[in-house]
Structure 1
Amino acid sequence: MIWDLFEIAAGLALLVVAGDFLVRGAVNMSLRLGIPALIVGLTVVAFGTSAPELMVSVTAVLDGVPGIALGNVVGSNTANILLVLGLPAIIAVIRTDEHDMRKSYLTMLATALLFIAICFLGPIGWGDALVLLAALTLMLWDQITDALAHRAEREDTPLEGADLHMRWTRIAFFVGLGLVGLPLGADFLVDGATDIARAYGISEAVIGLTLVAVGTSLPELATSITAAVKGRADVALGNVVGSNIFNLLCIIGIAGLVGPMAVPAQMLRLDLWVMLGVTLLIAPFIFYHLPFRRTVGFGFVGLYAAYVVALMSGAGA
């Protein structure tokens, strides 16, 4: 038990640190190769910040515990809205009238509906994975086209970790540590979580939906809280929408190519609908430009706590 907890803690630490190294290295490598910063932000950074979830899900499928892979993604999307938006809203008001997020929100909603439909059609296999990856390609192409059309507005936005004068040896060091640390951290986390689930009779899906999901959402949570403290709480909203789209299309898409994933019955009954419900919950804020105030933040965090209690109660029943 103690060793399992150590594996989980070590795995989470490795995922957070290695993910940061990989993003820094990849961003600077891309910029040194002459790729525009706005394209890097929409592709390299988006992929890099989702690397912890990706490695955990792929490792889980390879280890024969696909429940953790699916629970990780579904749970992360739920946690992203209720926690990654809720906690920063407690610190500072998240405004929604400074940027038009309607198109991005509708993309996130459509992605969630597509994913739910695929889950109900049976085990997620390579055919489903190709559909998700095709949708990801279309989404990225649309984002890049839109970014290029508004290049003058977006090019001034600095990329975190960007240093045009970083040496190639340092870039290689960052990328190398990221590529080594991510699979190692994922392996530790999946092994520890699986052992605990089996020891206490908790389903792999519940472990994925709670412990693993929150753990792999830590980078997004840390980014959003830091932004709120610095008075840029609005950053949290874009962070959540982009992460949720990428989680379903990219992570499940790639994991589905690695191996088939049977969808647990509990996920079909409850968890997918919770994910969809919290996605719909923020629609009025997006379309009517309502701010996420402290009371909303407390409400979101309270809803997440109630959801976790319900999951654990069901697991122990």
Structure 2
Amino acid sequence: MLISFLMLFLGIFVLVYSGNKMVESAASLARSLGVSGLIIGLTIVAFGTSSPELIVGVRSVTTGVGELASANVIGSNIANVLLALGIPATIMAIPTNTIGVARNASIALFASILLIVMVFINNPLLFWQSFIFCMCIIIYLLWMYKLSSAGSEDPILYELINEAEESHVASSKARLIITLLIGIGGLLLGGHIIVRNAVLIATNLNISETVIGLTIVAVGTSLPEITTVIIASYRGQPQVALGGVIGSNIFNLLAVLGISGLTGPIDVSTSIISFDIWIMLLTAIALVFLVLRRKPIGRKTGVFFLFSYAAYLLAIINSVM
């Protein structure tokens, strides 16, 4: 049991580290080939930052534990709002009046509602439903590109382009290609380790893979977002935190579930349908409400988010006791 937990944490570390290296090397390689920061941000960075959730999702579906894929996405979205915003809000007030924030928060809410509607239409989620998710993320990215061409100061677009610029590493193309291949290999290995040991832990504890996906795996795959927003807050850029969280939630719901579902059906457990999916919806609604108020997300809200996440975890633990 202890070995399985250690291997799970090792898998998360390998997954997150490899994802960062893959984005860094791919972005640098694209830059050396003359690709613009905008295109890099909307493709490599956008999908690369969600690569931990994506790899876990695809691996889960292809190994017959689709519940882990849906649990990871839903758990990650909950953690992104309550943890990744809660922590920096206790450090510095997060402004919500940045151009485009309300629009993107509304899109994240739409994506949450779309998932709920899809689940009630059919569970498990089938190929055609995942295809719709994929079409939605493609339309969203094309729209972002159009906004950039029009000179829009969209916070998510700014974050993607900024990360594309910061990911540039001066190195030879051969070394970048090798690093890219190692990063992809690490992602696949990390995903395999996570799924395998999540199943082993669930079996040994006589609980579903859903519980592991909603908690340990969800927080683990959300670590890049959590780390990014904390660093941004300390650097005096709290607005980056909000854009990063909203963007991550949109990509998790539309891209991760969409692409994962193209490889096979995605099961959504009855426990998620009766509880967790509504918590995810509430966090999305809360985010829209806070943004529409156009008042900074302050320390009190941050503390409330953190206590809410603790209560959520206790509710999950209590459900399996």
Q: TM-score, normalised by structure 2?
A: 0.94
User: In the TM superposition, what is the alpha-carbon distance from 1:282 to its structure 2 partner?
Assistant: 1.6
User: In the TM superposition, what is the alpha-carbon distance from 1:152 to its structure 2 partner?
Assistant: 9.4
1:262 is aligned to 267
Q: Does 1:79 align with 2:84?
A: no
Secondary structure in 2 matching 1:282: helix
Do the aligned partners of residues 152 and 100 (structure 1) sit closer, same or farther apart at CA in structure 2, a change above 3 Å counting?
closer
Which runs of no fewer than 5 residues in structure 2 stay unpaired? Answer: none
Identity across matched positions, percent: 37
Instruction: Kindly indicate whether the alpha-carbon contact (under 8 Å) linking 2:105 and 2:287 is maintained by their aligned counterparts in 1.
Output: no
Supply the distance in 2 between the matched residues of 1:53 and 1:84 (Cα, whole angstroms). 16
Supply the distance in 1 between the matched residues of 2:11 and 2:270 (Cα, whole angstroms). 28
1:114 is aligned to 114
In structure 2, which of residues 280, 288, 293 is the aligned counterpart of residue 288 of structure 1? Answer: 293
2:167 is aligned with what amino acid? G
1:7 is aligned to 7
Do the aligned partners of residues 297 and 151 (structure 1) sit closer, same or farther apart at CA in structure 2, a change above 3 Å counting?
closer
Residues 189-221 of structure 1: CA deviation (Å, up to 9, x unaligned): 111111111111121111111111001001111
2:150 is aligned to 149
In structure 1, which of residues 158, 161, 165 is the aligned counterpart of residue 167 of structure 2? Answer: 161
Supply the distance in 2 between the matched residues of 1:95 and 1:166 (Cα, whole angstroms). 37
Which runs of no fewer than 5 residues in structure 1 stay unpaired? Answer: none
User: In the TM superposition, what is the alpha-carbon distance from 1:36 to its structure 2 partner?
Assistant: 1.3
User: In the TM superposition, what is the alpha-carbon distance from 1:157 to its structure 2 partner?
Assistant: 4.6
Residues 262-285 of structure 1: CA deviation (Å, up to 9, x unaligned): 221111111111100011012232
Do the aligned partners of residues 151 and 282 (structure 1) sit closer, same or farther apart at CA in structure 2, a change above 3 Å counting?
closer
Once the two structures are overlaid, the 10-residue window that deviates more, 33-42 or 17-26, is 33-42
Once the two structures are overlaid, the 10-residue window that deviates more, 1-10 or 66-75, is 1-10
1:94 is aligned to 94
Instruction: Kindly indicate whether the alpha-carbon contact (under 8 Å) linking 1:93 and 1:233 is maintained by their aligned counterparts in 2.
Output: yes
Residues 90-128 of structure 1: CA deviation (Å, up to 9, x unaligned): 111111223331211111111111111111112111111
Do the aligned partners of residues 8 and 152 (structure 1) sit closer, same or farther apart at CA in structure 2, a change above 3 Å counting?
closer
Do the aligned partners of residues 156 and 70 (structure 1) sit closer, same or farther apart at CA in structure 2, a change above 3 Å counting?
closer
2:136 is aligned to 135
Instruction: Kindly indicate whether the alpha-carbon contact (under 8 Å) linking 1:85 and 1:236 is maintained by their aligned counterparts in 2.
Output: yes
Do the aligned partners of residues 156 and 264 (structure 1) sit closer, same or farther apart at CA in structure 2, a change above 3 Å counting?
closer
1:306 is aligned to 311
2:276 is aligned to 271
2:134 is aligned with what amino acid? L
Residues 71-108 of structure 1: CA deviation (Å, up to 9, x unaligned): 00000001100000001111111112233312111111
User: In the TM superposition, what is the alpha-carbon distance from 1:151 to its structure 2 partner?
Assistant: 7.4
2:219 is aligned with what amino acid? V
Supply the distance in 1 between the matched residues of 2:195 and 2:29 (Cα, whole angstroms). 30
* Count of paired positions: 315
2:239 is aligned to 234
Secondary structure in 2 matching 1:291: coil
2:27 is aligned to 27
User: In the TM superposition, what is the alpha-carbon distance from 1:42 to its structure 2 partner?
Assistant: 2.1
1:207 is aligned to 212
